[in-house]
Structure 1
Amino acid sequence: MTGHRYVFVGGLHRSGTSLVARMIASLPQVSAIENAPVPENEGVYLQGAIPHTARDGAPMQFATDPAQHHIEGSRYDNLETRLRIEADWAPYFTDAPWRVEKSPVNLTRMRLYQQLFPTAQFVVVMRHPEAVAAAAAKWVDQTGAAMIDHWLEAHDIVARDLSYLHSVMVLRYEDLVVDPQRAQNRLAAFLQVPETGLREPVQDGNQRYAGRLTMTQEQADRARRWGYATGMITRPNPLYVRHALRAVREATATCPPSYDTGVSV
């Protein structure tokens, strides 16, 4: 048995996964990949167990690619894969009870990682589809409508995968920027580690994309399940959290709001 557990952070590109990973890394008893010779310190580039090329994990493409949806019983669900990942990542982590690893493609690997690392927990980061599509437009040659459709289809897959996971929470970017301290306290409660103050200011990046893309009525109807509406509107939505311990579920979901949010807009 290893002396550490993993918390995997995943989400579509430009959803806020890096921000959430840094917030988790700032918590006590958590180690993170730092100063690695790869983009955004993402562990997916540091391991050789599961091939990762320019065609794997492409923005606004990977999450609906069946070949990138790794689940229990797949060809990588074996001890060899686990041991190779552990060996490849080990030099980049320090000795701590928790290891946080962030790669967007974790969004479609949660079920496999749960098999490989049974005590792992997962944080899905979600952001308004209009904002994600507008932010990713500089990287991909797709229409705004196609990118929003990708967002919707990807999160339909996520919704189905969530029911297979023992320990997972869905954190919306919009809730995080409204009250970042509360979001960090929720992450601490989810991992059962002490709370701590914020280490960096948090800005609401959605404002720069307001009005660039607009969902159709049909798209908005599909996005409603996550609390998103046309025109970059985000409606209140209960925090989705699953954990084997009821006390952890309740503590994570009911963290009180912070009255000094620290938001810088």
Structure 2
Amino acid sequence: MTAHRYIFVGGLHRSGTSLVARLIGGLPGVSAVNAAPVPENEGVYLQGAIPHTARHGVPMHFATDPAQHHIEGSHFDRLETQMRLERDWAPYYKEAPWRVEKSPVNLTRMRLYQQLFPLSQFVVVTRHPEAVAAATSKWVDMDSAAMINHWLDAHDIVQRDIDYLHAVITIRYEDIIADPTATLARLAAFLDMDTVPAPSDIRNGNQDYAGTATLSPAQAERASVWGYRAGLQVQPWASVTRHPLRRIAENVVAAAGVAPST
């Protein structure tokens, strides 16, 4: 039996997964991948158990691709996959109770990873679909409406997958920006550990994309499920917190306070 547990961070590209992984990696008792020879220290590039090529994990495509939605009972739900992941990732971690692994494609692998690592926990990171579309436009040849529709369709899938998870928390990029201390406290409570001071260099990247894309009324109605409104606006939102231990779930909620509105 391993002496560590995984916390997997996933979200669409440009959603803030790197920021969340950095916050978690700064907590005591957590080991993170650092200075790895791969983009953004993403563990998906450091393993050979599940194929990941230029045709996998494509921004604004992977999250709605059925071939990349890995769940319990799928082809990769095997002991060999679990053993290969452990072996491939091991050189990049130090000994610690928790290992944080951040890759956007974790968003579509949570149910599989729960089968492979039953004590693992999951962080779903979201960011306003208008900002994600604008920030991703440099990589993909799609209009903003199509990219926003992808965001909405992807998060419909995520919402269904969350129902299968034992330990999961949702984190909005906008709430990190509004109150990094409270967000870090939620993450620490989710791991049942003491929090630390939040970094002071967190800036609001959404302001870079003001006016670049706007939700249509129909899109805004769908996005409201996640607390998003047109014009990069957010509203108070009951984020998801699920944990098998009621004490931990209650501590996370207590650390959250009231979600801000802008």
TM-score (norm 2): 0.97
Structure 1 residues 128-167: aligned runs within 5 Å: 128-167=128-167
Q: Residue deviations 1:90-132, cap 9 Å, x none? A: 0000000000000000000000000000000000000000010
Q: Which residue of 1 aligns with 2:60?
A: 60
Q: Distance in 2 between matches of 1:38 and 1:175?
A: 28
Alignment root-mean-square deviation, CA: 1.0
Q: Which residue of 1 aligns with 2:198?
A: 198
Deviation of 1:194 (Å)? 1.2
Q: Which residue of 2 aligns with 1:127?
A: 127
Q: Distance in 1 between matches of 2:154 and 2:45?
A: 22
The secondary structure found in structure 2 opposite 1:40 is: helix
For residue 115 of structure 1, what is the amino acid of its counterpart?
Answer: Q
The secondary structure found in structure 2 opposite 1:86 is: helix
For residue 114 of structure 1, what is the amino acid of its counterpart?
Answer: Q
The secondary structure found in structure 2 opposite 1:99 is: strand
Q: Distance in 2 between matches of 1:89 and 1:200?
A: 30
For residue 235 of structure 1, what is the amino acid of its counterpart?
Answer: Q
For structure 2, the 5+ residue unaligned runs are: none
Q: Does the aligned pair in 1 maintain the 2:183–2:256 contact within 8 Å?
A: no
Q: Residue deviations 1:182-224, cap 9 Å, x none? A: 1001000000011111234111111110110001111111111
Q: Which residue of 2 aligns with 1:220?
A: 220
The secondary structure found in structure 1 opposite 2:255 is: coil
Q: Distance in 2 between matches of 1:216 and 1:67?
A: 29
Structure 1 residues 68-217: aligned runs within 5 Å: 68-217=68-217
Q: Distance in 1 between matches of 2:89 and 2:76?
A: 17
Q: Which runs of 4+ in 1 moved over 4 A?
A: none
Q: Which residue of 2 aligns with 1:263?
A: none
The secondary structure found in structure 2 opposite 1:254 is: helix
Q: Distance in 2 between matches of 1:62 and 1:123?
A: 18
For structure 1, the 5+ residue unaligned runs are: 259-265
The secondary structure found in structure 2 opposite 1:7 is: strand
Deviation of 1:25 (Å)? 0.1
